[in-house]
Amino acid sequence: MGKTAIITGGGSGLGQSAALRLADEGVNISVVDISEEGGNDTVGRLKEKGVDAIFIKADVSKADEVKNYVDKTLEHFGSVDYFFNNAGISGSGKNFLETDIKEIDQIVGINLLGALYGLRYVAEAMLKNGGGSIVNTASSAGVTGQASVVTYGATKHGIVGMTKSLVAEYAKDGLRVNAIAPGPTETPMVKKFFEDNPDMKESAEAGIPQKRLGTPEEVAELVAFLLTSKAQYINGDTIRIDGGFTNTK
């Protein structure tokens, strides 16, 4: 039946691009997203590529909905081989002391708890089947300190930590877990953030040695490499993909 991947945030941006790239490898996909429109759009594109795909609506900040997307994937495909633990939000870009407590709760709920819940249920399913491969989405804000994204940065530093710790516990059982740390990338989330904070886009582009934003397709190539058998001895790492943005800091 082939390999199966779960991709959260699969209705747009990095998640959708990674799904399409994995379909080129013949991987079947469970597309998880809060947006039915985006999720179904991705499923349609995947089926055009000849792979099996289903959409599962989920708010990843709710543990029962995370468990449900794992259960439905197992019911439909029988196993989970790959997991792109990717769903996330950026926040308003306000300075931390101007940030509403509700926004802090929302960012932590989706970015940090949502990622932990996903790891909890997906890793459990993988280990019952001999192991699997996971890629968590961190950020350049998860490997350096950046102004105006304190809560977001805290969650993305947490992604790096959970990646390392999960490997320390379960690599011996066949689990590979890595993280990616994209810099500013041309996704709907980043575009919206820069629309709301135009001065930050100019600052970001000026700070990238390659003088441009990354593309979702470039990130998808890295995700596909890390998930598949081509990267068997890479484990517990966080790979920066940011045009040199953080390596010069």
> Which residues have a catalytic role annotated?
152
Q: Is the dihedral of CA 151, 153, 157, 159 positive or negative?
A: positive
Spatial contact of 226 and 232, defined as CB atoms under 8 Å apart: no
18 CA to centre of own chain:
9
One-letter amino acid at 104 equals I
Reduced to 3 states (helix: H, G, I; strand: E, B; else coil), residue 240 is: strand
Spatial contact of 174 and 131, defined as CB atoms under 8 Å apart: yes
Phi-psi region of 42 (alpha: psi -120 to 50; beta: other; left: phi over 0): alpha
Q: Does an H or E element contain 53, and which?
A: strand 53-57
One-letter amino acid at 46 equals L
10 CA to centre of own chain:
9
How many helices (H) and strands (E) the chain has is answered by 9, 7
